[in-house]
């Protein structure tokens, strides 16, 4: 399941003020860090406090260039340097765990910045949603290379290294630089190719008024190229690399082992360089410390003079024994508007996965009536579509209520309560997903009749399999999704009853907690411990022969109570009266009881005919299943103004397509009969004598 949580709309990445050509920030110092374990499962925690700035990389502290929606294109387009950009999500547990490695890499290659730069962009930040969609970023983290002097728009080249270890990525950066042609190679980047044997002797006889270092190394070594790039910002020294020539020359120069450095001084003297260890850092440090070797001024993008500090986290007091509507609705907002929206279109198995998951949501989601009506509307619309491929923008039109249908609503921003974290990037979205998935399994067991007629009735694994397919196809943290799939593959088939489904998910949630304990994605304020804790459920815990164990019968009762409708509270939830288009009018009844959402078909699902307008007015009813009123007629009139009678962009596209096809058909038939008529007249024409 989800190892991380989307604090998307709360995130704020440090970019320069809007309107600058390149809102890029590169802090001066970076701190190397040990690579943490990369085997991260979905984080089982809850989420960032609203208003916090989820920043894995901070200007002024890290050597990473921080990009955003306003600076990405300007920084990478026609740049004099190449770029390696990590598209990440601040809620992704694997991204959080990998951040120290990315910081260490950026610090390690800081001197390469004139040739290639290490950057990061947070796709969880609300203002970056669109740019991540435009660059086709579906999963996190995604690594893309951008070549220097690229004028046309490109989504970049995917990193294809065998792993993401620091040394592997660093070497891949060198390979990428060498893939540039001579015409588009960054001007500040020296040649990384080895000196040809025929040119080596003349090079060794050079006396050019500056230091010339020749690094002898074996085939396949990267040390020489790394040292060449390390010395880019320094003047009065030139570094060349040479692959091991004939033994006689090496013996003449005094080279006894590889790698080795032969140095030619400005005054013409020469000799071998003696360092403590034949390592990159030793060679680079020695050459940088030579007399008269100093840093030169390089033209780099301007950095913002005013740094944005993190916003204060607004803490909301909450009861740990309660389930909060705000958490479920915030998670649903990110799921429908951000995570799924990363896919420009859906077809085949992905489309079927979405239909099945939305069906489960529509029938089992315990939220407020307008939210449930939205889900039911989406389910009916997806079920009625005759297409095998749909653009996701059509789904967004419905979720955003572009047709202004009265009585449906979903918050468009994040407000965590039970899923708050001590920092904005902790807990949040993954926490809300765990809560959502637990709630769905519990309600499938306590309200099995809700799935009647859906094809899932009587299937104890229905919810688990729908969740499994959703995570596998759409969850942004790829490594997290792979771990969840491993757990599902190993034991999900053993689930035979609805109660076993509830307990299976609980056990796997605790397994994730155990594996992530001590991981950088763990919130110190909410440590990952076996759940429920003894203070929440004393009866769930017992000892057998002195060993702590679970009373699964009591755990099942606790889960049904904790994720049941009676525990759901609307405290801090978005006010429906001011929540946006389609919200019920003030004073309307908003019952908590599980009422069925009124049946509603969108225009694309309605059959053609003269009764269309009447059915459309009925579909725009204000209350769930209630009679139409003045506000309903007002909603219909507003809908008529959007793309004509409430049709969505997909409907209008189909209309245009059918119009063009009909016109072409009529033209073909016209010319066909014109030609036939002419032939008939010629055949039956009798000229007069």
Q: What local confidence, expressed as pLDDT, does residue 599 receive? A: 34
Task: Look at residues 569, 602, 636 and tell me which one is the last residue of a structural domain.
Answer: 569
pLDDT of 605 above 90: no
Confidence of residue 3 (pLDDT cuts 50, 70, 90): very low
pLDDT of 277 above 50: yes
> Would you say residue 475 lies in a domain?
yes
Residue range 234-255, pLDDT digits in tens: 999 999 999 976 777 788 888 8
Residue range 398-451, pLDDT digits in tens: 999 988 888 999 998 899 999 999 888 889 999 999 999 999 999 999 999 999
> Would you say residue 415 lies in a domain?
yes
Average pLDDT over the chain reads 80
For residues 441 and 478, membership in a common domain is answered with yes
pLDDT of 587 above 90: no
Assign residue 114 a region: left if phi > 0, alpha if psi is -120 to 50, beta otherwise? alpha
Instruction: Give strand pairing partners of 303.
Output: 24
> Would you say residue 411 lies in a domain?
yes
For residues 376 and 522, membership in a common domain is answered with yes
Residue range 280-319, pLDDT digits in tens: 999 999 999 999 999 987 555 554 333 444 445 688 999 9
For residues 397 and 358, membership in a common domain is answered with yes
For residues 328 and 279, membership in a common domain is answered with no
For residues 461 and 375, membership in a common domain is answered with yes
> Would you say residue 214 lies in a domain?
yes
Q: Give the pLDDT mean for 605-623.
A: 35
Q: What local confidence, expressed as pLDDT, does residue 671 receive? A: 85
Which of 355, 571, 360 has its CA nearest to residue 464? 360
Number of domains the chain is built from: 3
Do residues 429 and 6 lie in contact, with contact meaning Cβ atoms separated by under 8 Å? yes
Q: What local confidence, expressed as pLDDT, does residue 685 receive? A: 56
Which residues, in sequence order, are CB contacts of 653 under 8 Å at separation 6+? Answer: none
Q: Where are the beta strands (DSSP E) in 176-313?
A: 211-217, 234-235, 237-243, 260-264, 270-272, 294-295
Confidence of residue 660 (pLDDT cuts 50, 70, 90): confident
Which of 334, 382, 342, 337 has its CA nearest to residue 358? 382
Q: What local confidence, expressed as pLDDT, does residue 683 receive? A: 62
Among 229-238, 301-310, 492-501, 663-672, which stretch is predicted with the lowest mean pLDDT? 301-310
Among 10-14, 107-111, 132-136, 328-332, which stretch is predicted with the lowest mean pLDDT? 10-14
For residues 438 and 291, membership in a common domain is answered with no
Percent above pLDDT 90 for the chain: 53
For the question of residue 95 being annotated catalytic, the response is yes
Task: Look at residues 546, 569, 592 and tell me which one is the last residue of a structural domain.
Answer: 569
Do residues 620 and 639 lie in contact, with contact meaning Cβ atoms separated by under 8 Å? yes
Residue range 27-77, pLDDT digits in tens: 444 343 443 333 333 333 333 333 334 578 987 678 999 999 999 999 999
Q: What local confidence, expressed as pLDDT, does residue 2 receive? A: 42
DSSP H helices in 541-648: 552-562, 612-619, 630-640
For the question of residue 92 being annotated catalytic, the response is yes
Q: What local confidence, expressed as pLDDT, does residue 637 receive? A: 37
Q: What local confidence, expressed as pLDDT, does residue 623 receive? A: 32
Q: What local confidence, expressed as pLDDT, does residue 656 receive? A: 77
Which of 287, 366, 292 has its CA nearest to residue 325? 366
- Residue 334: give its domain's CATH number: 1.20.120.310
For residues 373 and 484, membership in a common domain is answered with yes
For residues 372 and 513, membership in a common domain is answered with yes
Task: Look at residues 569, 584, 616 and tell me which one is the last residue of a structural domain.
Answer: 569
Angle at 118 between CA 114 and CA 119, to 5 degrees: 120
Q: Where are the beta strands (DSSP E) in 592-633?
A: none
For residues 391 and 287, membership in a common domain is answered with no
Q: How many CB atoms lie within 10 A of CB 312?
A: 10
> Would you say residue 426 lies in a domain?
yes
Q: Give residue 343's domain range.
A: 323-569
Burial class (CB in 10 A: 0-12, 13-18, 19+), 545: exposed
Residue range 206-230, pLDDT digits in tens: 777 889 999 999 999 999 999 999 9
> DSSP secondary structure string, 328-339?
HHHHHHHIIIII
For residues 355 and 249, membership in a common domain is answered with no
User: Given the structure tokens 């998951």, which residue do they identify?
Assistant: 357
């Amino acid at each position: 399941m989800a190892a991380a949580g989307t604090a998307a709309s709360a995130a704020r990445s440090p970019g320069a003020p809007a309107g600058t050509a390149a809102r890029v920030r590169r802090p001066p110092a970076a701190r190397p860090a040990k690579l943490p374990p990369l085997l991260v499962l979905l984080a089982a925690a809850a989420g960032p406090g609203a208003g916090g700035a989820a920043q894995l990389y901070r200007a002024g502290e890290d050597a990473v260039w921080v990009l955003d929606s306003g600076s990405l294109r300007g920084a990478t387009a026609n740049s004099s340097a190449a770029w390696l950009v990590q598209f990440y999500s601040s809620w992704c547990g694997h991204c959080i765990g990998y951040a120290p490695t990315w910081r260490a890499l950026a610090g390690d290659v800081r001197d390469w910045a004139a040739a290639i730069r290490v950057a990061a962009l947070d796709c969880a930040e609300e203002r970056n949603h669109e740019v991540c969609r435009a660059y086709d970023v579906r999963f996190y983290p995604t690594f893309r290379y951008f070549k220097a002097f690229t004028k046309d728009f490109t989504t970049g080249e995917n990193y294809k290294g065998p792993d993401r270890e620091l040394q592997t990525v660093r070497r891949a950066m060198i390979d990428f630089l060498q893939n540039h042609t001579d015409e588009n190679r960054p001007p500040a980047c020296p040649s990384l190719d080895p000196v040809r044997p025929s040119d080596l002797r003349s090079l060794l006889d050079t006396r050019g008024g500056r230091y010339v270092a020749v690094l002898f190394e074996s085939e396949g070594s990267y040390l020489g190229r790394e040292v060449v790039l390390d010395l880019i910002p320094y003047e009065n020294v030139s570094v060349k690399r040479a692959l091991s020539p004939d033994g006689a020359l090496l013996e003449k120069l005094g080279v006894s082992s590889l790698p080795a450095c032969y140095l030619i001084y400005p005054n013409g003297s020469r000799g071998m360089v003696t360092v403590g260890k034949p390592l990159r850092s030793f060679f680079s440090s020695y050459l940088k410390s030579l007399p008269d070797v100093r840093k030169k001024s390089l033209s780099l993008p301007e950095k913002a003079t005013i740094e944005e500090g993190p916003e204060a986290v607004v803490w909301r007091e909450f009861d740990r024994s309660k389930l909060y509507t705000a958490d479920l609705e915030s998670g649903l907002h990110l799921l429908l508007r951000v995570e799924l929206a990363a896919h420009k279109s859906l077809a085949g198995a992905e489309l079927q996965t979405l239909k099945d998951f939305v069906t489960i949501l529509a029938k089992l989601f315990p939220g407020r009536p307008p939210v449930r009506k939205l889900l039911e509307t989406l389910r009916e619309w997806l079920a009625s579509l005759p297409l095998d491929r749909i653009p996701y923008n059509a789904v967004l039109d419905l979720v955003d209520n572009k047709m202004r249908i009265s009585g449906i609503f979903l918050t468009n921003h994040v407000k965590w309560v039970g899923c708050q974290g001590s920092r904005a990037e902790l807990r949040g979205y993954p926490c809300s997903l765990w809560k959502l998935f637990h709630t769905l399994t519990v309600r499938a067991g306590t309200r099995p009749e809700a799935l009647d007629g859906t094809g899932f009735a009587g299937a104890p694994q229905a919810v688990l399999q729908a969740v499994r397919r959703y995570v596998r196809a759409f969850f942004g943290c790829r490594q997290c999704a792979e771990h969840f799939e491993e757990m599902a593959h190993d034991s999900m088939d053993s689930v035979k009853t609805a109660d076993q489904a509830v307990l299976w998910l609980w056990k796997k949630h605790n397994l994730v907690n155990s594996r992530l304990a001590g991981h950088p994605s763990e919130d110190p304020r909410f440590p990952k411990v076996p759940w429920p804790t003894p203070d929440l459920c004393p009866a769930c815990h017992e000892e057998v022969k002195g060993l702590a164990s679970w009373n699964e019968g009591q755990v099942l009762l606790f889960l049904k109570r904790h994720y049941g409708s009676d525990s759901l509270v609307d405290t801090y939830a978005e006010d429906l009266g001011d929540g946006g288009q389609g919200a019920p009018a003030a004073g309307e009844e908003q019952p908590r009881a599980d009422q069925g959402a009124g049946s509603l078909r969108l225009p694309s699902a309605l059959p053609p005919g003269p009764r269309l307008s009447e059915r459309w007015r009925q579909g725009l009813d204000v209350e769930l299943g209630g009679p139409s009123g003045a506000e309903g007629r007002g909603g219909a009139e507003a809908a008529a103004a959007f793309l004509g009678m409430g049709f969505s962009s997909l409907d209008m596209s189909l209309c245009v397509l059918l119009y063009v096809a009909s016109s072409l058909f009529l033209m073909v038939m016209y010319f066909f009969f014109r030609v036939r008529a002419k032939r008939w007249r010629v055949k039956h024409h009798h000229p007069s004598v």
